[in-house]
Structure 1
Amino acid sequence: MEREIGIDQLVAAMKAVDEAGRLFEESLAVYEARGLKRTGDDFTVAGGSVQTLQGAEEMALGARRFLTELAVLAGLTTAGLEERTAGREQVARAGFAGVAGGGSRMARPLLDPTVKGLRLLLDVGLFAPAFKAEVEQVLGAEEATYPAPSARRVPRAVAARTP
């Protein structure tokens, strides 16, 4: 069976994801050192302290979990167990959700380590164009977009029933 993803490509991706994860963790530590809290009244505010911390954590944890997925794929491939890698190649190419979800929550401007980590991910040849587009969208966003302000509004029908 011919390999869809080569070992060299996996190793390069693993190194980039590992470094990006370290940079995302560095950003999370900076936010925490600034005194941002995970509780507060601004949990519904895109770019607020709660959402920024959540987003930074999503990116850091997403990178770490994804690194594990890449390591399993590399191990199985190296051991010649390609039959056990079914579907994992597509998962690897798709990247990880923590980037888009986490990045949409975070205050702007993004911290320098976050930007560096995201740029590292853009250089990985393994990733599908859709994942790279998500990374570029996070880098290009001028402000946090989640949660959307319209999501906080109470529909008129519900408001009319409230005593």
Structure 2
Amino acid sequence: MKREIDIEQLVTAMKSVDEAGRLFEEALAVYQARGLQRNGDDFKVAGGSVQTLQGAEEMARGARKFLADLALVVGYASAGFEERVTGRYETARKGFTALSGGAARMARPLLDPTVDGLRLLRSVDVFEPSFGETIEEVLSAEKATYPDPSMFRVTSQRAATTPVGGRP
């Protein structure tokens, strides 16, 4: 029986994801040491302290969850149960969404550990090219893009349909 999932390639990817996660955690620790907290009133500001800390946490937590997902695929495939992880394998090849979502929140310039972790992930061959493109977009972004300030604007139509003191 020919094995469809390259276990050695996935183990190599796991090592890179593990190291990237460690680097993201290092960046998170730097932000925390600077006193950033998620209870500030600038949650509406892309790149503000609340969003930056949230983004760093998302990236670190996302890398750890992604590592566990990869380990599950490797474990089942190693045991000869590839049919149980076929969909998970394709999903894993797409990378993890917490990376782009987290980075979109973070102030620029990104800290060196974050940049190093992103470059490390970009170098992994098992991921689809679109994941590398997402990483390139993150690295080239000049500023944080989430949240979009327009999310918090009250349009005249929305204001007209909202009862005084209540929700629409």
Give the TM-score normalised by the residue count of structure 1: 0.95
Match of 1:159 in 2: 159
Gap change, CA 1:87 and 1:161, over 3 Å in 2: closer
Q: Contact 1:100/1:135 (CA < 8 Å) preserved in 2? A: yes
Q: Contact 1:95/1:131 (CA < 8 Å) preserved in 2? A: yes
Q: 2:74 corresponds to which letter in structure 1?
A: A
Greater mean deviation of Cα atoms: 41-50 or 82-91: 82-91
Match of 1:71 in 2: 71
Q: Distance in 1 between matches of 2:68 and 2:161?
A: 50
**Structure 1, unaligned stretches of length 5 or more?**
none
Q: Distance in 2 between matches of 1:39 and 1:130?
A: 34
The alignment's C-alpha RMSD in Å is: 1.3
| 1:142 aligns to 2:138 (yes or no) | no
Q: 1:76: how far off?
A: 0.8
Q: 2:106 corresponds to which letter in structure 1?
A: M
Q: Distance in 2 between matches of 1:122 and 1:37?
A: 29
* Matched pairs, number: 163
Q: How does 1:83-122 map to 2 (within 5 A)?
A: 83-122=83-122
Q: Distance in 1 between matches of 2:27 and 2:51?
A: 14
**Structure 2, unaligned stretches of length 5 or more?**
none
Q: 2:113 corresponds to which letter in structure 1?
A: P
Q: 2:55 corresponds to which letter in structure 1?
A: G
Q: Distance in 1 between matches of 2:153 and 2:66?
A: 35
Q: Distance in 1 between matches of 2:130 and 2:2?
A: 25
Q: 1:159: how far off?
A: 3.1
Q: 1:154 corresponds to which letter in structure 2?
A: V
SS in 1 for 2:117: helix
Q: 1:38: how far off?
A: 0.3
Report sequence identity in percent: 66
Q: 1:5 corresponds to which letter in structure 2?
A: I
CA-to-aligned-CA distance 1:104-140 (integer Å, 9 cap, x gap): 0000000000000000000000101111111111111
Q: Distance in 1 between matches of 2:115 and 2:13?
A: 17
Q: 1:43: how far off?
A: 0.2
CA-to-aligned-CA distance 1:137-158 (integer Å, 9 cap, x gap): 1111000000012212111123
Q: Contact 1:4/1:89 (CA < 8 Å) preserved in 2? A: no
Instruction: Answer 1 or 2: which has greater helix percent.
Output: 1
